[in-house]
Amino acid sequence: MTHRLPLRIYYEDTDLAGIVYYANYLKFIERGRSEWVREMGIDQAAMKRDEGVVFAVRRVEADYHSPAKYDDEVVVTTQVEAVTGARLIVKQTVERDGDVLFSALVTIVAINEAGAPARLPAAFRRNLH
């Protein structure tokens, strides 16, 4: 299953050259993951409150292929690549008209309130299939 989040590039997303500032792609893919989890019916605030577990990004491997520019309409895609008991790897892209502008493999881990590794919540794992 691939989740898709449409976004428009605003002036605030760009640098002096009018192209998306490189760090903003990380914000875009974070929004994509947040909306994907929300659409699965997972309330991350309740998960923290009830289970003491939150998600944290452990690793990002990113490639910048082509720049997005002011007023572009782009789509952030999120797709599961691998799941273990405590780790999730997702492939994310930012695309414009089907062309990949940015791609990343993101490793997400579950951690408890002390910052130690925790198992991915069962409700979350169930929703991945």
The pLDDT tens digits of the residues spanning 68-98 come to: 999 999 999 999 999 998 899 999 999 999 9
* Active-site residue list: 15
pLDDT of residue 129: 64
- In angstroms, how far is the first alpha carbon of the chain from the final one? 9
Positive or negative, the CA dihedral 56, 60, 65, 67 is positive
Considering its fold, how many domains does the chain have in total?
1
Q: Structure pTM?
A: 0.92
106: domain range? 2-127
Higher-confidence residue: 41 or 14? 14
Q: Give the CATH number, domain containing residue 122.
A: 3.10.129.10
Q: For 19-49, what is each residue's pLDDT tens digit?
A: 999 999 999 999 999 999 999 988 999 999 9
CA distances from 75 to 32, 45, 68, 95, 117 (A): 9, 26, 11, 5, 32
Higher-confidence residue: 38 or 129? 38
pLDDT of residue 86: 86
